[in-house]
Structure 1
Amino acid sequence: MTVLQSFPIPRPTTNPYLIMLGEALRRTPGVTVLNFSWKTALFGRYDVYHSHWPEILVGGRTPLRRLTRQALALMILIRLRLTRRPIVRTVHNVERPDGLTARESALLDVIDRQTTMRIRLNSTTRLPDGERFKTIPHGHYRDWFARYEPQEMQDGQIGYVGLIRRYKGVEGLVSAFRETEGRREGLTLRLGGNPSTSQLAASVASLADGDRRIELHLAYLSDAELVEIVTSSELVVLPYRFMHNSGGALAALSLNRPVLVPDNEVNRKLSDEVGSGWVHLFDGELTAESIITALDAAAVRADRPDLSARDWDRAGIEHADVYRAAIDAGHRR
């Protein structure tokens, strides 16, 4: 069984989830993995196409590039339809991104109609009635980060790592942290990640200005830098305004550091899964009080969170089962 993944040969900036999935599948007996290229998708030999973020297939930086990619995407969809090759899609995001053109939306509608099975990363992802799916949890990062030496934890250090987007609430984190001054001695904040716009970078820097307890690194983090910030922190805070599937929370837990995240169904289930003391929740806007409360509660926990349900070899086998089921369903059409 040969599966064509929708991502090309990995680069240094490739999402680690995709790399770890590809490696797990290559370790799975009976599975051959191909990385995406337009030539392979149009003319290669494969049994199933695995889509991750389908909007990437139909977008582009310039109008000509978008039109070319959309024409090629349509040709791929026609080929898949005529040869009864199924599409399996991992549902990373609950909704499509904003700003899609009518043509992009139409092509995504075609991809949705041709999708035979979906993989959701947690049991709270809502899917349309009648859709075939399997839940395969996002795998851990323990093996991914094993090559890096963890740092000694610094008492009172709060950490944030990851891309900085408006919806991730980083400005609220800086504001809430500043409110801890005079309420708790010895607190520091280390914040690392690349802002999506220069305006957002300026806003975060302005909010932090004048507080010597805050250290900013507003740029892409290498894996070594991420491990350094996370493992030196006593608590990692992810103040997202919306959180559904968070690789950031799993990265921190994989490095044996507790997290403070929004209170929602996904994160409550994650808390139950990994064990007491590892996942702390805040409701509404992040406040100084919620940061201090989480720090106090995080002091009592087991040595490591339980991430046994997120083993990658298990995920590889479960993905292979989904591919086989999709192929069988395609043959019955």
Structure 2
Amino acid sequence: MTGRAAEGLRVCVSPSPDEPHLNPYLTQLYNALAAAGAPPRPFERRTLLTERLDVVHVHWPEHLVRWDERVWVRLLDVVKVLTGLTVARRRGARLVWTAHNLRPHERAGSPLVRLFLRQFWRRVDLVIGLTRAGVEQVHQAHPRLRRVPARVVPHGHYLACYPPVGDRAAARRALGLDPQRRVLLQFGMVRRYKNADGLVAAVVALPQTGPQLVVAGAVVEPDLGRELTAAVAGQTRVQLRPGRVEDAEVTTLHAAADVVVFPYRDGALNSGAAVLALSLGRAVVVRDTAVMRELREVVGERWVHTFAGGADEAAAVAAGCELPGEDERPDLSALAWPDIARRTLEAYADVVPAARAAS
């Protein structure tokens, strides 16, 4: 379903294209779908009830409900969202879920969140996984979804999203880092499962001649933020840079780094931050999982280094692994956005009848 076949396809997406600070992954996906003839429209509950849609494509279903509001608002949101999805599907729309996570990072233990997600997954008509292994994990966690079609559409690259990576020495000067020592970077939103506290402790335990570490990103949990602040106090080799990172600083941080480390306690279904690092020409250290082995198949062993134990092993691998040259770049052609859009539209075609898509 590309070109003329995709023209007129009515696709409603969440998060919506007009959201502030939209993830660059989504910006590129939506632009690529529009270029292929299927421009996405914003997810609105009114649209589900009143417009004839072909596809409702949701990435993070937990974002459809205002969980920080009063209980009655949350309950009303849950009812309205589920009712809207039910009505849209009865009118012919197909519900597509891209499985970025098996469960939400926050509020996963809330009974209302669990109820909402169970009802959402019962309505899903198509699962899009970012890796083959990710689809298998979804099926293990949610056996009912084995009965609906599943497609693999990989996470696209970030080559056009950020300013070019500049000179490493200049970036290190700007960040106050020693220009002669290896620099490890942990980048992205800081959550407990990402094990930044473990990586800080592991780097601090290395000899004084060991690498430097920068942890950069918004800290979601206040307790964790306080723990990290205390852990880096007085440490000259570890920098904590909490808060939202602007685009220019994203490139400065990666320019300064030799390698980007993801010492997660458990394996993830994907890592957009790892794809970002590769897009900016930096090798990554990730947990040895089937998902990350697929990423290594795409870009090569020199760019994806793995560990199997704890943060101490991740730090040791990052400190000692052989890395590509500063000016080398991985081949990310398999993650190009025109192909991502084509594969997404082909996934839609699994559940949207051709006659309806062309009508």
What TM-score do you get using the length of structure 1 for normalisation?
Answer: 0.90
2:63 maps to 1:56 = yes
For residues 180 and 10 of structure 1, the distance between their equivalents in structure 2, rounded to whole angstroms, comes to 46
1:320 corresponds to which letter in structure 2?
L
For residues 192 and 182 of structure 2, the distance between their equivalents in structure 1, rounded to whole angstroms, comes to 26
Out of 107, 112, 120, the position equivalent to 2:121 is 112
Distance 1:96 1:291, change over 3 A: closer
1:259 corresponds to which letter in structure 2?
V
How big is each residue's C-alpha offset from its partner over 1:30-71, in whole Å with a ceiling of 9 and x where there is no partner? x13101122223223421111111122244212132122122
Q: Which residue does 2:199 correspond to in 1?
A: 173
Out of 161, 168, 191, the position equivalent to 1:152 is 168
For residues 31 and 235 of structure 2, the distance between their equivalents in structure 1, rounded to whole angstroms, comes to 44
Q: Which residue does 2:260 correspond to in 1?
A: 236
For residues 329 and 259 of structure 1, the distance between their equivalents in structure 2, rounded to whole angstroms, comes to 42
For residues 212 and 67 of structure 2, the distance between their equivalents in structure 1, rounded to whole angstroms, comes to 41
Matches within 5 A, 1:175-190: 175-182=201-208, 184-185=209-210, 187-190=211-214
For residues 313 and 329 of structure 1, the distance between their equivalents in structure 2, rounded to whole angstroms, comes to 21
2:99 maps to 1:82 = no
Distance 1:78 1:271, change over 3 A: closer
For residues 9 and 131 of structure 1, the distance between their equivalents in structure 2, rounded to whole angstroms, comes to 27
Determine if contact 2:283/2:304 at 8 Å carries over to the other structure: yes
2:163 maps to 1:136 = no
Cα drift, residue 105 of structure 1: 3.2
Q: Which residue does 2:216 correspond to in 1?
A: 192
2:247 corresponds to which letter in structure 1?
D
Q: Which residue does 2:245 correspond to in 1?
A: 221
2:130 maps to 1:121 = yes
Cα drift, residue 316 of structure 1: 0.6
Identity within the alignment, %: 30
Cα drift, residue 158 of structure 1: 1.2
Determine if contact 1:121/1:135 at 8 Å carries over to the other structure: yes
Distance 1:43 1:151, change over 3 A: farther
Provide the aligned C-alpha RMSD in A: 2.3
How big is each residue's C-alpha offset from its partner over 1:264-320, in whole Å with a ceiling of 9 and x where there is no partner? 121122223211311111121121x65344343333469211222111110111111
**SS of residue in 1 equivalent to 2:243:** coil
For residues 86 and 318 of structure 2, the distance between their equivalents in structure 1, rounded to whole angstroms, comes to 52
Distance 1:132 1:207, change over 3 A: same
Distance 1:299 1:318, change over 3 A: closer
Determine if contact 2:30/2:39 at 8 Å carries over to the other structure: no
Cα drift, residue 101 of structure 1: 4.5
Cα drift, residue 175 of structure 1: 0.5
Determine if contact 2:48/2:88 at 8 Å carries over to the other structure: no
Out of 257, 272, 294, the position equivalent to 1:269 is 294
For residues 84 and 322 of structure 1, the distance between their equivalents in structure 2, rounded to whole angstroms, comes to 16
Gaps of 5+ in 1: none
Determine if contact 1:234/1:295 at 8 Å carries over to the other structure: no
2:34 maps to 1:18 = no
Determine if contact 2:97/2:127 at 8 Å carries over to the other structure: yes
Out of 206, 212, 217, the position equivalent to 2:236 is 212
Distance 1:6 1:290, change over 3 A: closer
2:294 corresponds to which letter in structure 1?
K
For residues 194 and 276 of structure 2, the distance between their equivalents in structure 1, rounded to whole angstroms, comes to 16
**SS of residue in 2 equivalent to 1:261:** strand
Distance 1:171 1:111, change over 3 A: same
**SS of residue in 2 equivalent to 1:221:** coil
For residues 344 and 320 of structure 2, the distance between their equivalents in structure 1, rounded to whole angstroms, comes to 40
Q: Which residue does 2:322 correspond to in 1?
A: 298
Distance 1:191 1:105, change over 3 A: closer
**SS of residue in 2 equivalent to 1:9:** coil
Equivalent pairs counted in the alignment come to 326
Determine if contact 1:118/1:131 at 8 Å carries over to the other structure: yes
What TM-score do you get using the length of structure 2 for normalisation?
Answer: 0.84
For residues 28 and 272 of structure 2, the distance between their equivalents in structure 1, rounded to whole angstroms, comes to 13
For residues 96 and 72 of structure 1, the distance between their equivalents in structure 2, rounded to whole angstroms, comes to 20
1:92 corresponds to which letter in structure 2?
H
Cα drift, residue 136 of structure 1: 0.6
